Amino acid sequence: MIFETHAHYDDECYDEDREALLEELPKRNVGYVVNVGADIETSRKAVELASKWDYIYATVGCHPDEVDCLEKEGLQEIERLAETADKVVAIGEIGLDYFRKEGTDYVTTQKKWFKKQLDLAYKMGLPVIIHSRDAAKDTMDILREYVENHPDVTNPGVVHCYSYSPEMAREFIDLGFYIGVGGVVTFKKAKKLVESVRAIPMDRILVETDAPYMSPEPHRGERNDSARIKYVIDKIAEIREMDSKEVEAITEANARRMYGI
């Protein structure tokens, strides 16, 4: 079955039909969904969804664009959710995003909270979901330091929605990370990602949607959902010259192993 490793069904765009959609997904070959927190409120909502639906699991954490929510007692709330809520399987999504480049101290602030959330993941014994946009070197430097300082961490996490080079993918894998592949791999101009998928060992690939975003071809621009991972799986199968069912089975096993499910 499909293991959706990264979705946001707490998003308001699902408010009108969330129940019906989540009821339908298992009938569309989706066996597992990890709903990912991006700030305090969405982390709480991820936990709520996981408590209601047997096949949904949650992560808690703050996206780099939302780290202001960690000021005061925000980080303590993320820790409380990770410690007390059932079915929390990772800390995330966390990381660095330099796309907007707003203000003068955004790099310092993002790095600070990235490191603090990595420390929390270590404390809780959980993997992390890494968001990295236009921040390849800093992300790599921080994650290398994290892994080197914690040699007992054998399952550090996943670099989600991977967009960098095949060479950097190998570096992340050498640190122990999985690589998350989503709908972008189906886009015509995704040559770098296609080359990365060709280079990544199959036992290190996870599939995802980032729903409601990044819908694959032939549904690009539409609201995404987890059943559309089949297009991602088919593309990976094409790139690797494999059967789609084999890719589906391998990526499910990879995700179960990483999330401990």
pLDDT tens-digit readout, 32-44: 999 999 999 999 9
Handedness of CA 59, 19, 184, 62 (dihedral sign): negative
Distance CA 101, CA 104 (A): 8
Phi, psi of 42 (to 5 degrees): -70, -25
Q: Which pairs from 133-138 meet CB under 8 Å and 24+ separation? A: 133/96, 133/97, 133/98, 133/99, 133/163, 134/97, 134/98, 134/99, 135/95, 135/96, 135/97, 135/98, 136/164, 136/168, 138/96, 138/98, 138/107, 138/111
pLDDT at res. 19: 97
Least confident of 74-78, 101-105, 137-141: 101-105
155, 258 Cβ separation under 8 angstroms: yes
pTM of the full structure: 0.96
Give the count of domains, the chain.
1
The range of the structural domain enclosing residue 159 comes to 2-259
Task: Answer yes or no: is pLDDT of 91 > 80.
Answer: yes
219, 192 Cβ separation under 8 angstroms: no
Which tokens in the block code for residue 87?
């079915």
Write down the mean pLDDT value for the chain.
96
Average pLDDT on 202-222 reads 97
pLDDT at res. 104: 65
CATH number where 94 lies: 3.20.20.140
